[in-house]
A and B are shown apart, each in its own frame.
Chain A
Amino acid sequence: GAVVSQHPSRVICKSGTSVKIECRSLDFQATTMFWYRQFPKKSLMLMATSNEGSKATYEQGVEKDKFLINHASLTLSTLTVTSAHPEDSSFYICSARESSGFSTDTQYFGPGTRLTVL
């Protein structure tokens, strides 16, 4: 299947700093990428939908000024957690949808980024 990479896999930062997470589709073009957040033993919570070349669509309750999303190319989307606080510590997962024009349009997930804010 298609491969999605995420970088970094783990990051520890001090409170007040900003952290950028990259999501790349390695062998396909993804017009749409999704960013999720997952707390321990909980399901995935969709944060935003990122479309190449346009502004991201944020889910209700997600602060767009805090979680900056940029989808500059068909293979790269970035999530920047600005002025991170300990409550932002979580597992962040991106997924990319392979838009083949067929109904399947399966999502492929990146390996996730474990963010710990001290």
Chain B
Amino acid sequence: GQNIDQPTEMTATEGAIVQINCTYQTSGFNGLFWYQQHAGEAPTFLSYNVLDGLEEKGRFSSFLSRSKGYSYLLLKELQMKDSASYLCAVRVSSGGSYIPTFGRGTSLIVHP
């Protein structure tokens, strides 16, 4: 089976930088996604990594190390609206299909 681990909750200050880690153990790895989800809403896509390295997109960056089964999401210049749950999702290939598996999510609280 798949195992995805990320911290349950993190807090940070407005304007600061925060790094949310995600570790995974899986077979048939075919990419890792990060999603943001505000309470009561559906997740929204943030980033996708399939090769090792850092992908930067504005204030958000995502890093992947396939050999270590490790990824992180980096949020810079934090804003209050960044308070949300951040979901790490690993996609595996299985029987010709790509199956996504989500971690429990990290609840990020940004305070003034």
Contacts and interface: CB of A to CB of B under 8 A. Distances in A.
A112 B104 CA distance: 18
Contacts of B35: 109
Question: Chain B contact residues: over half helix, strand or loop, or mixed?
Answer: strand
Nearest to A51: B97
Contact of A111 (B41, B100, B105): B41
Contacts of B87: 43-44
B47 to A, nearest CB: 10
Contact of A44 (B40, B97, B98, B102): B102
Contacts of A104: 48
A59 B111 CA distance: 39
Interface in B39-62: 40-45, 48, 50
B105 A43 contact: yes
Given A34-B100, A44-B102, A106 B42 contact: no
Contact of B102 (A41, A46, A91): A46
A111 B99 contact: no
Question: Chain A contact residues: over half helix, strand or loop, or mixed?
Answer: strand
Interface string A40-59: 01111110010100000100
Interface of A: 1, 32, 34, 36, 41-46, 49, 51, 57, 91, 93, 97, 103-112, 114
Given A36-B102, A106-B33, A109-B35, 14 more contacts: A32-B98, A41-B107, A42-B104, A43-B103, A49-B99, A57-B97, A93-B42, A93-B43, A103-B50, A106-B45, A107-B33, A109-B42, A110-B42, A111-B41
20 contacts: A32-B97, A32-B98, A34-B100, A43-B102, A43-B103, A44-B43, A45-B102, A46-B101, A49-B97, A49-B99, A91-B40, A97-B98, A103-B31, A106-B48, A107-B45, A107-B100, A109-B45, A112-B41, A112-B42, A114-B40
Interface of B: 31, 33, 35, 40-45, 48, 50, 87, 97-105, 107
